[in-house]
A = this chain, B = another copy of it.
Amino acid sequence: MSADRLSQVFSALADPTRRDMVARLAAGDATVNELAGPYDVSVQAVSKHLKVLEDAGLVSRSREAQRRPVHLEAEVFDLMTKWIERYRREAEERYRRLDAVLRQMEQPTDQHDEGRPGQEGTAS
């Protein structure tokens, strides 16, 4: 249990049904039964999905009479976005650098290049 938050969040969203629930919750809170409507699975299964989303911090449940309205928590999304953007930026930057190097190598300048900006010790 209790893997790190990021793993939980990614894992939770790896399921299409759960992603769909999130999509619908983005439009407004809903109860378990309301959420269960469209899918042809038992209410218990939906309840389980919600537990996964809740454990990941993507969703919270309040109490309102005998109902438990489910509410989408937007904050956790930032965690993912930050992670993704970080490495995407790095990768793209590296790509740009590589591209520059390639362009330079194509130039028939007789200047000896020795830049080799690459990764020499990437794997420790």
Contacts and interface: CB of A to CB of B under 8 A. Distances in A.
B30 A119 contact: yes
Interface residues of A, number: 49
Nearest to A10: B14
B119 A27 contact: yes
A123 interface: yes
Copies of this polypeptide in the complex: 2
Main secondary structure of the interface of A (DSSP, over half): helix
A6 B71 CA distance: 23
A123 B35 contact: yes
Top 8 closest pairs, chain A to chain B, by CB: A28-B119, A34-B123, A11-B14, A26-B90, A10-B14, A74-B91, A77-B88, A26-B87
